Structure 1
């Protein structure tokens, strides 16, 4: 299956991608773009505790979904493959680290920094796609990547205090997506294995948090406990959609679709959280939005006449 993926070209697979991976990717990115609104309700909770509960409550969600969809055989096969378990343990560690950095940044008022991180991520995907998956980009798509890189470089010069947040988010999520694309496992069993191998660290984090002066927030109030309990569904659903899309779409195309999520983060940070937009950030975002336009224009212009709207 992976061999077929390696030979595909994002310019020639746009039509099939629309029906096999595009809706899942769009759904995942839309949900992620609204995440700050959810985590804003958990400001009183330690980021470490939130990550731990996300892991613990995601596993039951996955197991229920596996039972409903009758994918128990796939889960047992995945757990019986040591190399696959090792790969999913690494992807789980990457996404767990990504969660921790993201939640801490949002709670400390750096939503725009998280937005930039997920704007940078497509550049990471493009680089990974060309280096590891032998995906080819057109000249215009390379131009789009270069324009976006200029914007990131401008921000790096004047926003060093929060740039590490953006870069860490981009690299950890890019690594997660690459592993999930290459791992020969469906999205649901794969997520179940990831959360299973991270269960001991999650329990350790909760024990550590319980012994800290702040203690555990779970159980302190009904509303807060319900919000933490919902973390499994809130976490699991977009990850399932993303993993499914990653198996179907070219990695470069998947990365550029991801601009939906940081655009949502940008708008939420600007209007809901009323963060101040620095001039250098605005210039950086303009470069990145220009890169998106160039990339999308190239994809649309390369479609066959029969694939264009109004054509049979």
Structure 2
């Protein structure tokens, strides 16, 4: 019991740190917005691989890396998580570049409830009546947005489901966080590197052809990408998927505040209704989770 509590505490610390870093993410991608979505994405991958290769060497993890490459199940899981996180990264960068940070906020507010739903389907986690209601309110919010804008809020849904499934897949992988992330970025790095070399050959690439600030910002794509994901995957392996979902409130809250008060995006009546329904769902879910946790603690003491 004590070991489980210690793991939960460590996991919560990792989770809070990860989501606060992600919450500040739009600031970085606004700063490199002139570079372009795909080029920034490629730099994220390349510099992340370089950074993690150093870390893998320092902690002598190469034997585990090579062993994972020989395990079909682990390799398939990492290939799947690579696709999922790539979709998430590209969607997020694109949304920031076209001034739709508010939609990223909506997506990551939906994500905790998506995680609850995925936990029910794939991990056998039980869903109480109140959690069903909270999930229902989230989908009602999506329905309002869909009817008002005559189409699905695809940015929000792509972010929510890609990251929800990513957490699910990484929870099933046996590698440590930085080892798994290294292999994920390594798998896609040939495509990223070829794309960057193609841009350089065409003379349209920005790295080493722009000012010093841009060059440094692109190099920083490595730590900006690696650090929060390292913290997240460490948290995901130590916590219930539903608990990880609860911590995810932090990042979209930061996105929401940045979108409204710093980036000046318009908050419409439709946004108000949609966010209101989702926030009500999150409030119900949070209250029910807190109550259930207290009940478990009381039962453990008796």
- Same-fold call, TM > 0.5? yes
Distance across 2 between alignment mates of 1:134 and 1:303: 18
How far off is 1:107 after superposition?
A: 0.6
Partner of 1:175, secondary structure, is helix
**Gap change, CA 1:184 and 1:306, over 3 Å in 2:** closer
Q: What CA deviation, in whole Å up to 9, does each residue of 1:259-307 have, x standing for no partner?
A: 2111111111111101010111111111112222211211222234795
2:57 maps to 67
TM-score normalised by length of structure 1: 0.88
Distance between the aligned counterparts of 1:212 and 1:56, measured in 2?
19
Kept after mapping to 2: 8 A contact 1:14/1:303: no
Quick one: which of 227, 238, 246 aligns to 1:248? 238
Superposition map of 1:180-191 within 5 A: 180-191=170-181
Give the TM-score normalised by structure 2: 0.91
Distance in 1 of aligned mates of 2:111 and 2:137: 14
Mapping of residues 170-249 of structure 1, within 5 Å: 170-210=160-200, 215-219=204-208, 220-249=210-239
Distance apart, 1:156 and its partner CA = 1.6
Structure 2 gaps, min length 5: none
Match of 1:117 among 82, 92, 107: 107
Which segments of 5 or more consecutive residues in structure 1 lack a partner in the other structure?
1-12
* Equivalent residue, structure 1, for 2:293: 303
Asked whether the equivalents of residues 78 and 190 of structure 1 are also in contact (C-alpha less than 8 Å), the reply is no
Q: Given that residues 84 and 165 in structure 2 are in contact (C-alpha distance below 8 angstroms), is that contact kept between their aligned partners in structure 1? A: yes
TM-superposed deviation, 1:163 = 0.8
The 5 Å alignment of 1:1-312 reads 18-160=8-150, 163-210=153-200, 215-219=204-208, 220-304=210-294, 307=297
Structure 1 residues 200-222: Cα deviation after superposition (integer angstroms, max 9, x where no partner): 11113213433557x11111111
Rate the CA distance shift 1:164–1:264 in 2: closer, same or farther, 3 A: same
Of Structure 1 and Structure 2, which has the larger fraction of its residues in helix?
A: 2
Aligned counterparts of 2:40 and 2:289: Cα–Cα separation in 1:
39
Q: Judging changes above 3 Å, is the alpha-carbon distance between structure 1 residues 188 and 153 closer, same or farther for their aligned structure 2 residues?
A: same
Equivalent residues, number: 296
Query: Aligned in 2, Cα 1:30/1:254: closer, same or farther, shift over 3 Å?
Result: same
